[in-house]
Structure 1
Amino acid sequence: MNRTALGVAGIALLVLLVVASSSLFVVHQAEQALVLRFGAVADPENPIKGPGLHMKKPFIEDVVRYDTRLLDVDPPAEQVILADQKRIEVDTYARFRIANPLLFYQAVRTEDGARARIREIVNNSLRQVLGNVSLPSVLSAEREQIMHEIQQQVSETAKSLGVVVVDVRIRRADLPPETSQAIYRRMESERQREAAEARAQGYERAQQIRASADRERTILLAEAQRQAQILRGQGDSEANKAYAEAFSADPAFFAFYRSLTAYRQVLADGNTTYVLTPESDFFKFFHNAPGAGKP
């Protein structure tokens, strides 16, 4: 009898332990939970369970746990057509937090489901916002404002999922390979054209400078020659004036000086022979010189 009672008591204790373990659950600090009864919220008035020890009805109620920390969404790169009809590949990421577990469960059930929906929302917002801006705007300081507008749209739409999107970022915005090659070839052609224009302009400018220098050289040489002619004329005039004054002061000496100059010039080359008559005026000072004999 005692053994039977002990056996029954042991079985009852075991059942009690199983029921107790099925009735109690712990929600950790970084979690929030929903208690579901046959797939529906068991306690509509207090559906969200925060950190701590909680109870549920065993076997008929289940617990769904959700992370309270920030969660990441990493959509694949998406091609977007901009307002200027340029195509770019945009690589984005987003971060969200589950703000309303009940709404979250009703809308998407799981975190993976939420990520899939948020990827769609981000891509739709990208197309809508970037479709109204040009490529230079995406690559300039306006990028922050563009991202702010995208985040606002994503956050507003994602509210229906029970989440708060706290950040949306463009990690990279690149041109598609075929577009990049076309732009590179166009830029290379443009640079070559600009280089050719610069060389042509440089050659033209060099020709202008050279022509200007030649013109100035010609003008300077002509002016120098003119000044030289003027100075030479002035010198000749002064010399003639001096000769005239000397001739007027002593005509005989001046005639003698002129003859000496002529002798020096004629007789400078000792190899030259001159044939002159003795009566020539060229020798008049030889005849009249002291000690000179008659020829």
Structure 2
Amino acid sequence: MTRLTVLIGVLVVGFITLTSTLFTVQETQQVLITQFGQPIRVITKPGLQAKIPFIQNVIAFDRRLLDYDSPGEEVILGDQRRLVVDSFTRYRVVDPLLFFQTAGAAESGIRGRLGSIVSSALRRVLGNETLLAVLSAERTRVMADILREVNGEARRFGIEVTDVRIRRADLPEENTQAVLTRMQSERERVAREARAEGAEVAARVRAGADRERTVILAEAQAQSDVLRGQGEEGAIKLFADAFQRDPQFYQFYRTMQAYREAFGEGESRFVLSPDSEFFRYFRDSTPVPLTPNPVLPNPAQAPAAAPNPAVTPG
């Protein structure tokens, strides 16, 4: 029983010693071996490795890309604009020994220093750039300058920064309203200019239409006057020919027209002497001899309203 106990104890001690001696390095890891707190060697190849048990310790570092999100901070640009920048950084540990000597065994020890490096680089580079450069296609060049400065500082800690990006770039809250007001004023100015140009074009079109209307009316009035003059000329000539053929009948006809216009409404009043020539045909009912086959004017060609004839002595 005593031998069995001793054998079991030897096996247990052997197992513990073996597990403390052998260790595995993963493909995503790189290992630093320390002895009494002092670094001894660095192992970067994956596989089964060995160390002195109980004396040497294994510190593993991730060899993959790591992310660090910087909190948003206010930066003053080269044109004195203020901008709240929210960035992130991607890095990897390339020198475990230097990383252990400068930042410690934990990867969290580098985050505070990396945040200071990124913040300083952002302020230096963006302090020489304008807002338009940060928000335009030149942003790629700006980020390359920031990456170069951050990487130059980060190599002192055994890490390599592969990328620095600005996730968001916003104006401070106190400046946002001013910018929005300025944008609104600019849009209103553009709208006023557009309305003014539209009103100018409308006035020009309206003036052209009024001018064409005036020209068309004037030409129509001129043509109407010409036609009216030609018609009146024909009517006067026709009446003159008829008057020359039978003057007595023409005088009678014109007198009858004057009676119709004077007494047509039935409410006309005249203050005349009984022997007035206007009532000549009322006093003298002697028939007037007519010229055989007189040529009378065509009523369709006569004017609608002929002037009243003058009173002719009988």
What range is the shorter-chain TM-score in? 0.7 to 0.9
User: Paired residue for 1:67?
Assistant: 62
Distance 1:16 1:272 in 2: 153
For structure 1, which segment, 22-31 or 200-209, has the greater mean C-alpha deviation from structure 2 after superposition? 200-209
User: Paired residue for 2:127?
Assistant: 131
User: Paired residue for 2:29?
Assistant: 31
User: What's the TM-score, normalizing by structure 1?
Assistant: 0.77
| Structure 1 residue 245 corresponds to structure 2 residue 245 | no
| Structure 1 residue 92 corresponds to structure 2 residue 87 | yes
| Structure 1 residue 176 corresponds to structure 2 residue 177 | no
Distance 1:276 1:205 in 2: 71
User: Counterpart of 1:126 in structure 2: which amino acid?
Assistant: L
Q: Which runs of 5+ in 1 are unaligned?
A: none
TM superposition shift of 1:181:
2.4
User: Paired residue for 1:20?
Assistant: 18
Distance 2:281 2:101 in 1: 147
| Structure 1 residue 283 corresponds to structure 2 residue 288 | no
Distance 1:21 1:160 in 2: 35
Question: Which one of 73, 82, 87 corresponds to residue 78 of structure 1?
Answer: 73
TM superposition shift of 1:66:
0.5
Question: Higher helix share goes to which structure?
Answer: 1
User: Paired residue for 1:268?
Assistant: 264
The question of whether the paired residues in 2 share the 8 Å contact of 1:98 and 1:162 is answered with yes
TM superposition shift of 1:262:
2.0
- Give the aligned CA root-mean-square deviation in angstroms: 3.7
User: Counterpart of 2:59 in structure 1: which amino acid?
Assistant: V
List per-residue Cα deviations over 1:28-62 (Å, max 9, x = no partner): 3322101112333324xxx2243222111223322
After superposition, the Cα gap between the structure-2 partners of 1:10 and 1:225, relative to the gap in structure 1 and judged at 3 Å, is closer
Question: Which one of 107, 113, 116 corresponds to residue 117 of structure 1?
Answer: 113
After superposition, the Cα gap between the structure-2 partners of 1:288 and 1:27, relative to the gap in structure 1 and judged at 3 Å, is same
Distance 1:62 1:50 in 2: 17
For structure 1, which segment, 202-211 or 185-194, has the greater mean C-alpha deviation from structure 2 after superposition? 202-211
List per-residue Cα deviations over 1:143-183 (Å, max 9, x = no partner): 34433433343334323332232332211111111111222
The question of whether the paired residues in 2 share the 8 Å contact of 1:89 and 1:175 is answered with yes
TM superposition shift of 1:231:
5.0
User: What does 1:93-108 correspond to in 2, within 5 Å?
Assistant: 93-108=88-103
Distance 1:189 1:219 in 2: 45
For structure 1, which segment, 246-255 or 170-179, has the greater mean C-alpha deviation from structure 2 after superposition? 246-255
Q: Which runs of 5+ in 2 are unaligned?
A: 290-314
* 1:288 alignment partner, SS class: coil
* 1:57 alignment partner, SS class: coil
The question of whether the paired residues in 2 share the 8 Å contact of 1:259 and 1:282 is answered with no
Aligned residue pairs: how many?
A: 286
User: Counterpart of 1:65 in structure 2: which amino acid?
Assistant: A
For structure 1, which segment, 13-22 or 172-181, has the greater mean C-alpha deviation from structure 2 after superposition? 13-22
After superposition, the Cα gap between the structure-2 partners of 1:212 and 1:276, relative to the gap in structure 1 and judged at 3 Å, is farther
TM superposition shift of 1:240:
2.2
List per-residue Cα deviations over 1:76-101 (Å, max 9, x = no partner): 11111112110010001112122222
User: What's the TM-score, normalizing by structure 2?
Assistant: 0.73
What percentage of aligned pairs have identical amino acids? 46
The question of whether the paired residues in 2 share the 8 Å contact of 1:48 and 1:102 is answered with no
